[in-house]
């Protein structure tokens, strides 16, 4: 039962995110969720390769916009990315 309530809450959060946030904010939120940022044990590196195309589908934007945002996130050293997009948030 707890799992269903948690899942329902997550679906509601995703809907609000899609309706009211920019694609840049949605990408940032997705990256934070993927690394379990703010949860017990702290952020964890994502070891599964994720393409920019996949991130674009998750966020609801184009791959080129994801590329622009990832470059923007890298500049102030918020994010370390490898070629296949293995993420480590700092």
Q: Tell me how far apart the alpha carbons of residues 90 and 74 are, in angstroms, rounded to a whole number.
A: 11
Query: What pLDDT score does 32 carry?
Result: 83
Measured in degrees and rounded to the nearest 5, phi and psi for residue 48 equal -85, 130
Q: Is 80 helix (H, G, I), strand (E, B) or coil?
A: strand
* Encoded tokens for 13: 């959060």
At residue 40, the pLDDT reads 76
Quickly count: other Cβ atoms within 10 Å of residue 5's Cβ.
9
Q: What is the pLDDT of residue 64?
A: 94
Give 49's contacts (C-beta < 8 A, 6+ positions apart). Answer: 84, 85, 86
Q: What is the pLDDT of residue 90?
A: 42
Collect the ranges in the chain with pLDDT lower than 70.
17-18, 38, 76-90
* Predicted local distance difference test score (pLDDT) of residue 89: 46
Which CATH class for the 22-89 domain? mainly alpha
Percent of the chain with pLDDT over 90: 16
pTM: 0.66
Please report the pLDDT score of residue 62 as a whole number.
Answer: 94
């Amino acid at each position: 039962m707890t799992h269903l309530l948690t899942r329902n809450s997550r679906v509601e959060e995703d809907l609000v995110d899609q309706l009211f946030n920019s694609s840049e904010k949605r990408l940032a939120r997705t990256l934070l969720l993927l690394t379990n940022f703010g949860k017990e044990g702290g952020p964890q590196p994502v070891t599964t390769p994720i393409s920019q195309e996949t991130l674009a589908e998750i966020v609801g934007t184009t791959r080129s916009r994801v590329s622009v945002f990832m470059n923007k996130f890298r500049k102030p050293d918020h994010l370390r990315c490898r070629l296949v997009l293995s993420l480590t948030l700092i």
